[in-house]
Amino acid sequence: MFKRKLKPLEKSATIGIVAPASPESPEIIDSKIEIFQNLGFKIKKGKHLYDKNGYLAGNDKDRAEDLNSMFLDKNIDAIVCLRGGYGSIRMVPYLDLKGIKNNPKPFFGYSDITLLLNYISNKCNFPTFHGPMITSNFYDLLTKEFFLKLLTHTKTKIIYNLNDICCNNYLIWNKKDFSGNIVGGNLSIICYTIGTPYEINFNNNILLIEDVDESPYAVDRMLSQLISCGKITKLSGIIIGYFTNCINKNNNITVEEILKEKLSPFNIPIIQGVKIGHDYPNITLPIGSKFKFSSKDDLLIQKDVIFK
């Protein structure tokens, strides 16, 4: 059970926008913020939102300063990242964990932001949200619907019906009830944090994985790493999102075949085909929150209270 609860947002809420990873052009930032403002919230831009340092959105300390400031700012009600890319692991040593822990608020992102979602949730004891960012497509109705549902949620618990959050051809392997905290996100980020202070907690938890632009052999290699270091056997369940553009034209093997070959023999319940990651709709899920899967009804049921 989370010790620190989040406040659901009202229409008058202010959302802070930060860029912890890669940069974007000023023109795209402005156009995407204009679209995001149509959701009805006020916005506040991070001081260094437009900075650029090669493939990074400014230097490491400045990117961390923006995120720290948004958590400490009493006028900011939630924080949404600009985009992913690369850079979160470089700025995370400069985070003010004490300040963040004492000022819990909804924090959204995915892709490279996977590291921050899991690290902040684990260290600061409140949920973060694997979901769309400012550069995402908020014209997609389900993406917008689930994003707003989480931000403005007034009920104590959330129930996800697989028919609503999965593709039509979703699969369940080793079907049975399971429960645990949802952790993870982007598979590449999960793997490169193994052995670092930012490694996620696999023990009795539900691992969410998704990725983009990786060949099937690369996905095979990453899954093999998790298997070889004993992480997969610690899990209570696995949720598989999009593996977008993960193809190899030189052979016929698919990433779906790799996922089944590598993961199904462990007899861990696996849900494949959830609409999460680098495609649309991009459904929002709370990282660090405890869920139970009902195999009878195909429901993901949140077990803890994350809003007050």
| Cα-based distances in Å from 64 to 46, 77, 259, 266, 281 | 10, 18, 35, 39, 29
Average pLDDT over residues 44-54: 98
Q: Where in the chain is the domain with CATH 3.50.30.60?
A: 159-302
- Structure confidence by residue, pLDDT tens digits, 206-216: 999 999 999 99
CATH architecture classification, 14-151: 3-Layer(aba) Sandwich (3.40)
| Cα-based distances in Å from 124 to 14, 94, 308 | 22, 15, 17
Q: What pLDDT score does 152 carry? A: 86
State pTM to two decimals: 0.97
- Structure confidence by residue, pLDDT tens digits, 282-305: 999 999 999 999 999 999 999 998
Question: Pick from 201, 248, 197, 200: which is nearest to 221 by CA?
Answer: 248
Given 111, 136, 188, 236, the catalytic residue? 111
Average pLDDT over residues 13-19: 98
Tokens of 26: 């000023």
The rounded distance, in Å, linking the Cα atoms of 135 and 149 is 19
Average pLDDT over residues 219-230: 98
Whether 261 is catalytic is no
- Using the predicted structure, report yes or no on whether residue 306 has a pLDDT greater than 70: yes
Cα first-last separation, the chain: 13
- Structure confidence by residue, pLDDT tens digits, 126-159: 999 999 999 999 999 999 999 998 888 776 678 9
List of residues 6+ apart from 179 with CB closer than 8 A: 206, 236, 237, 290, 291, 292, 293, 303
DSSP state of 1: -
Mean pLDDT value across the chain: 95
Cβ count within 10 A of residue 227: 15
Q: What pLDDT score does 248 carry? A: 81
Question: Pick from 72, 123, 71, 52: which is nearest to 93 by CA?
Answer: 123
DSSP state of 56: B
Q: What pLDDT score does 158 carry? A: 86
Whether 130 is catalytic is no
Query: How much of the chain exceeds pLDDT 70, in percent?
Result: 98
- Structure confidence by residue, pLDDT tens digits, 152-188: 877 667 899 999 999 999 999 999 999 999 999 999 9
Q: Where in the chain is the domain with CATH 3.40.50.10740?
A: 14-151
Tokens of 112: 């490279």
**How many helices and strands, by DSSP H and E, does the chain display?**
10, 14
Whether 153 is catalytic is no
Q: What pLDDT score does 156 carry? A: 65
- Using the predicted structure, report yes or no on whether residue 2 has a pLDDT greater than 70: no
Given 24, 65, 199, 210, the catalytic residue? 210
CATH, domain 159-302, list 1.10.10.10, 3.30.200.20, 1.10.600.10, 3.50.30.60: 3.50.30.60
- Structure confidence by residue, pLDDT tens digits, 92-123: 999 999 999 999 999 999 999 999 999 999 99
Q: Which range among 62-66, 83-87, 244-248 shows the weakest confidence by mean pLDDT?
A: 244-248
